Copies of this chain bind each other. A is one copy, B any other.
């Protein structure tokens, strides 16, 4: 019988669990209330003004049904705006607000600190290697989840 510690799936779940806990703790210490998912969405909307929800989902590999709720909460917090697209009446264009921009700027140190903390058991070289291997495994498995990563159409 294989031990849990020999199962990449188990290790993935555990590392992700710690990563989320660290992120939330750092962000809360900085005085904000934003989840990892909300942060990624907000940063991506800022970098791609006016994008629609499906494009956003593709850029950060979320399921389109998950995005709906995330967007709802970001709008609720006043960090982004959602308005109908003029080109496609099915689509919604997403735009960051001034407050969203402010939040993003002030929260960045906490986010970067969280990334360091979740790798604190590794040397700099090991951290780089872990990220490289994760990127490689993810690239090979990209199409295996319902929410694959997609490039922006531009």
Chain A residues near B (Cβ < 8 Å): 1-2, 4-23, 25, 36, 40, 43-44, 47, 60-61, 111-112, 114-115, 117-122, 126-127, 129-131, 133-142, 144-147, 149
Contact = CB atoms under 8 A, between A and B. Distances in A.
Contacts of A134: 8, 11-12, 14-15, 130
A8 B19 CA distance: 8
Given A1-B43, A12-B15, A138-B14, A117 B144 contact: yes
State the copy count for this chain. 2
A9 B122 contact: no
Contact of A17 (B47, B61, B112, B127): B61
A4, A15, A22, most chain B CB atoms within 10 A: A15
A120 B118 CA distance: 25
Contacts of A120: 137, 140-141
A133 B136 contact: no
Contacts of A17: 61, 145, 147
A133 B126 contact: yes
A121 B44 CA distance: 27
Contacts of A129: 129, 133
A56 to B, nearest CB: 12
Given A121-B136, A130-B133, A141-B120, A19 B15 contact: no
27 contacts: A2-B112, A4-B60, A8-B19, A8-B118, A8-B130, A8-B131, A8-B134, A9-B22, A11-B131, A11-B138, A12-B12, A12-B15, A12-B118, A13-B16, A14-B134, A15-B138, A17-B147, A18-B141, A18-B142, A21-B145, A118-B137, A120-B137, A121-B138, A122-B133, A122-B136, A122-B137, A129-B133
